[in-house]
Amino acid sequence: MNPILIISSLLYILVLVAFGSLNGILMALALPLLIYLGAGWFYGRGSVSLRAERQLSRERALPGEPIEVTLTITNTGAHIESLLIEDQLPTGVKIISGETSLLTALPAQASIELRYTLTAPRGYYRFLETLITAADCLGVRQRQILLSTPGRIFVQPRVQRMGRVNIRPRGTRVYAGFIPARKGGSGVEFFGVRQYQQGDPLRWINWRASARHHQALFINQFEQERVADVGIILDTRRRSEVCTRGASLFEFGVNAAAALADSFLNDGNRVGLLLYGTQLDWTLPGYGKIQRERILQSLARAEPGESQVFEKLGNLPKRLLPANSKIVFISPLHADDIPVLIHLRAQGYALLVISPDAVAFERAALDPNDETAQLATRLARIERVLMLHKLTQAGVQVLDWNLNTPLEGALHTTLSRGIPQIHAVEPVR
């Protein structure tokens, strides 16, 4: 409560009662309060003019990495007798050393530094303002100011280094890469034989085939290896999130997306990322380290959310995904997602579904002897197996990811099985 208001009210009461009761003592008793008020006004009458600057030791970090924050406040106005500086922290960060608030007296043109070190889980954190309370020594005349001290931190997901992920999309781009392009040319893997043309290297001549034909030479062809377009779709719908004992299923999805994006980009592919949930957060496809940074920043911001529009997968904007590209969909999956995914496959996209096993994840947190939980788990598992089976039958590569196994190993096993060859798929209604 404002001290000026309190003392003024008491002054009024004392003076009025003093006049009403013709009692001079009460009038005299009002004098110390009046002097207190006057002293506060007199010593706190200067204007408050401050300049603030925030410095962060780094703008991007990994979860748990310490980040040092230095906030410098400079007094560009008159002497301030009592200055309380309270830095407004974004939610989720954890202070490991130092102080985020400070009480001091700040002479004119002097500066004071506030230093602290913080850590944070994966996320995007924005510093906006610092709350300043300037007052006279007695704190009668308090002025609160919100100083703009912008800053931002991206705490990116930890990228698990993976080996090459063998994908075979239907279409590839023109640049050389590591993905078999289903076209003859220079490469490593044998692709076919064709008649010799002028300019072909002699060491490619297939002497066995040439010997069977009169006056004709044949050469070996190798499968070209190119880069491809890869679209990673991360399911950020709230209903796909499962939290048990402080662990989050969503985080596994984010880490998987980061690891896959890193692997695909390292192989020279063009990678885009779509966060499907609260809104469409689309990172346009691109190559290289800058794209990696963009994707990691997008993943740092990712969090589960709700939206009526994106509640179901049906509103997935297929036009964003390059034709004949490889689509990696990371989601625990829901029954109503299956027709959409099958439809996507039918449109020619090579689809890989990485589905973190939500049933096992949730079961691990339940009492193993609870019979009801056991029955519920069995039912949920049957439902899940049926869903995944439908996808597999439709020619979708499916990784039923048990979270106890590393993604790389699980992915290698799934991809080594090859793509189910389905030539015509009718979308399930």
Partner 1 sequence: MKRIRRSFYISLVVAAAVEIIAFSLYGYPALALIPLLVATLWGLAEFRQWHWAATPAFIIFVVLLIPATVLRAHWFYLLIGLLATLTAWDLSRWMALAGRAQRLEDEALLVGMHARRLGGVLLAGLLLSLLGINLQFRIIFGGAFLLALSLILALSRLVSFFRRA
Angstrom distance (rounded) from CA 285 to CA 270: 6
Q: Does 6 bind partner 1 (CB under 8 A)?
A: yes
CB of 65 to partner 1, least distance (A): 23
CB of 80 to partner 1, least distance (A): 12
**Under the criterion CB under 8 A, does residue 216 sit at the interface with partner 1?**
no
Q: Which of 101, 195, 393, 405 binds partner 1 (CB under 8 A)?
A: 101
Which span (30-38, 245-253, 290-298, 304-312) binds partner 1, by CB under 8 A?
Answer: 30-38
Question: Dihedrals φ, ψ of 62, to 5°?
Answer: -100, 160
The type of residue at 402 is: N
Among 135, 228, 257, 354, binds partner 1 (CB under 8 A): 135
Judged by CB under 8 A, the stretch of 3-11, 67-75, 177-185, 296-304 that binds partner 1 is 3-11
Q: Classify residue 163 as exposed, middle or buried by CB count within 10 Å of its CB (0-12, 13-18, 19+).
A: exposed
Q: Work out how close the CB of 92 gets to partner 1 at its nearest, in angstroms, rounded to a whole number.
A: 19
By CB under 8 A, tell whether 141 contacts partner 1. Answer: yes
Q: Does 298 bind partner 1 (CB under 8 A)?
A: no
Residue 123: both structure tokens together: 């996320």
Q: Which stretch binds partner 1 (CB under 8 A): 25-33, 54-62, 355-363, 368-376?
A: 25-33
Nearest to residue 384, comparing CAs of 365, 363, 405?
363
| Site track for partner 1 across 235-274, x = CB under 8 A | ----------------------------------------
Q: If binding is defined by CB under 8 A, does position 23 make contact with partner 1? A: yes
Span interacting with partner 1, options 29-37, 72-80, 269-277, 299-307, rule CB under 8 A: 29-37
Minimal distance, residue 155 CB to partner 1, in Å: 23
Q: Is 47 in the site for partner 1 (CB under 8 A)?
A: no
- By CB under 8 A, tell whether 50 contacts partner 1: no
Q: How far is the CB of 113 from partner 1 (least distance, A)?
A: 10
**Binding residue (CB under 8 A) for partner 1 from 78, 89, 112, 403:** 112
* 138 touches partner 1 by CB under 8 A: yes
User: Judged by CB under 8 A, does residue 139 bind partner 1?
Assistant: yes
Place of tokens 């402080």: 246
Task: Considering the complex, state which of residue 137 and residue 211 has its C-beta at the smaller distance from partner 1.
Answer: 137
Q: What is the 3-class SS of the chain, one letter each residue?
A: CCHHHHHHHHHHHHHHHHHHHCCHHHHHHHHHHHHHHHHHHHHCCCCCCEEEEEEECCCEECCCCCEEEEEEEEECCCCEEEEEEEECCCCCCEEEEECCEEEEEECCCCEEEEEEEEECCCEEEEEEEEEEEEECCCCCCCEEEEEEEEEEEEECCCCCCCCCCCCCCCCCCCCEEEEEEEEEEEEEEEEEEEECCCCCCHHHECHHHHHCCCCCCEEEEEEEEECCEEEEEEECEHHHCCEECCEEHHHHHHHHHHHHHHHHHHCCCEEEEEEECCCEEEEEEECHHHHHHHHHHHHHHCCCECCCCCCCHHHCCHHHCCCCCEEEEECCCCHHHHHHHHHHHHCCCEEEEEEECHHHHHHCCCCCCCHHHHHHHHHHHHHHHHHHHHHHHCCCEEEEECCCCCHHHHHHHHHHCCCCCCCCCCCCC
Q: State the pairing for strand pair 143-155/60-61.
A: parallel
- Least separation in angstroms between CB 14 and partner 1: 7
Q: Is 14 in the site for partner 1 (CB under 8 A)?
A: yes
Indicate whether 103 belongs to the interface with partner 1 (CB under 8 A). yes
- Exactly one of 53, 65, 68, 86 binds partner 1 (CB under 8 A); that residue is 86
- Tell the smallest beta-carbon distance from residue 403 to partner 1 (Å): 40
16 binds partner 1 (CB under 8 A): yes
The whole-angstrom separation of Cα 408 and Cα 166 is 11
Among residues 96, 108, 137, 386, which is the contact residue for partner 1, using CB under 8 A?
137
Query: How many amino acids of this chain bind partner 1 (CB under 8 A)?
Result: 55
Minimum gap (Å) between residue 38 Cβ and partner 1: 9
Contact residues for partner 1 (CB under 8 A)? 1-6, 8-17, 19, 21, 23-29, 31-33, 35-37, 39, 41, 43, 45, 81-82, 84-86, 99-105, 112, 133, 135-139, 141
